[in-house]
Structure 1
C-alpha cells in the first residue's frame, strides 16, 4: 500500500480509501506486471474490500484525491509508471472501478519511475468555477530523480490541462507526500510537502516545507 496518505471520502459512509498496487500474472510466459487499485472500507475500518485494477496500463505506487466536478464527487488516481509518463484514471463509485486509465505525457517519469503525490483542494474564491483543483508533486527531470516540481491542474479530469512545473526543490530528490492545509496567511490555498532529498543520493534526509498557491 501507499506510500503516502489515504483518504476519507465525503460520501454518506465516510469511506476510507487506501491506494495500493499488486503484481499480476496475466501471462504465465511473461513476468508479473504491477497494477494499481484501492482498498475501501465503508464501516470505519472494521472490514475492507479490494477494488478493481486500474485499466490495462501497468501502474505501480499511486495516490488518489476526491475531486468535486460538475456537481458530483469523483475519485482521481495518479500512478507511477516505468514508461516515461504517469498514468491517471477516475472512479465514479468511490474507488471500486476506475475508467480511462491513460498516460499523461506532461507528467514525466524518470527511467524507473518514482512515487508522486497528489491532493485536491477548493480553488480561490475569485475563481470563476468552484470545481476542485489538483496539485501534484514529483521529480521533474526525465533522466533521473531530481528537481522536485509542483504541477497544477484547474480541470483535473482533463490530462491536457496540467501546467508546467514550478520547482520546489533543486537537486536530488525522490518520494514526496503533498497535503492541502486550508487557507494560508495570504488568503491563498496553503500546502505542505514532505519529501526525500540528498546531496549524493536521493534519500539521505527528509525535508518538510509549507507554501501557498501564490
Structure 2
C-alpha cells in the first residue's frame, strides 16, 4: 500500500512538471517575434480582455482626473488563474524622441494612481532597462502587497520597433508561474 501511494505521488509530480514544461510557440509577423509560452496559460477571450483593459483605464482616469485615449492593439492576452497574466499589445508612434523619459513619466503616474486607489497596500516601484535579444526594453517593476498579505507583481516591458511601441505586461501572484512567463519573454527572439 505504501509503495502504491509513493508511486502515485511520483507520477503526479512528473505529470505536473511535464505540463509546466510544454509550450506553445507563438509568432507575431509584425515584430518578427517568436516566444514559447507554457501551455498552462490560456487565451483570454476578447470580452474579458477588454474588461481588464477598461478597468485599468478607469482606475487611471479616476486617480488623475484626465481622460485616457488608449490606442493599443492586442497581440496576445493569456492567463492562468486570475492574477497570472501575459499581455502584449502595440500602438503606432511617430517619435523615438525621449522614449525612456516618456516611459518613466507614464509609470510614475501609474504608481501614483495605484497609491491613491489602494492607500493601504504597500507598493515597491522601480524603473530600469533590459536587453531582450539585443533590443533595449524600458522596464517597470511593481510589487503590490495588499493588507491581507497577498502579493501581486507587475512587470512591464516596452520598446519601439519600426514606428510601433511594443508593450509586454507580465502580472503574477504565483511566483512559479510568474517566473515561467518572465523566462519565456526573456528568451524571446526578434528577427531583425
TM-score scaled by length of structure 2: 0.26
Structure with the greater alpha carbon radius of gyration: 2
Question: Larger strand proportion, structure 1 or 2?
Answer: 1
Q: Which has the higher helix share?
A: 2
